[in-house]
Amino acid sequence: MALSLSPTAGIDMPAPHGGQAQVHGRNDAFSFWKLSEDWRPALAPTIGPSAAAAERFLLEQYLPDVERRPPSALRAYYCVKRLIPRALRHRLNSAAVHARRRLEFPRWPCESALVEFWRDWLRRGLELLGAKDGWHIGFWPDHTKCCIVLTHDVESPRGFERMEQVAELEEQYGFRSAWNLPLAQYPIDWGQVARLRARGFEFGAHGLSHDGRLFRSPRDFAELAPVLEQLAAEHGLRGFRSPSTLRDPRAIATLAFDFDSSFADTDPYEPQPGGTCSLFPFHLSRLIELPYTLPQDHTLIHLLHRSPLPVWMMKAKWIASLGGMILTLTHPDYCGDGVYLAAYEELLKRLGEMEGAWRALPSEAAGWWWQRARLRLQIDNGQPHITGLGAARAIALRLSEQPLAS
Footprint on this chain of Zn ion (rule: CB under 5 A): 153, 243
Cβ of residue 255: shortest distance to Zn ion, in angstroms? 17
Minimum separation from the CB atom of position 292 to Zn ion (A): 12
- State which residue, 280 or 344, has the beta carbon closest to Zn ion: 344
Please, what is the minimum distance in Å from the beta carbon of residue 68 to Zn ion?
Answer: 20
* Smallest separation, CB 208 to Zn ion (Å): 11
Bond before 64 cis per omega within 30 degrees: no
β-partners of residue 347 are none
Residue of closest CB approach to Zn ion? 153
Q: How far, rounded to the nearest angstrom, does the alpha carbon of residue 271 sit from its chain's CA centroid? A: 18
- Which CB, 182 or 308, lies closer to Zn ion? 182
Give whichever of 264 and 404 is closer to Zn ion, judged by the CB atom. Answer: 264
CB of 155 to Zn ion, least distance (A): 5
Judged by beta carbon, residue 159 or residue 367, the one nearer Zn ion is 159
Closest to Zn ion by CB, 243 or 274 = 243
Tell me whether residue 144 or residue 180 sits nearer to Zn ion (CB atom).
180
What minimum distance in Å lies between the beta carbon of 314 and Zn ion? 25
Which CB atom, from 55 or from 153, has the smaller least distance to Zn ion? 153
Shortest Å, Cβ 117 to Zn ion: 31
Residue placing its CB nearer to Zn ion in the complex, 243 or 281:
243
CB of 180 to Zn ion, least distance (A): 8
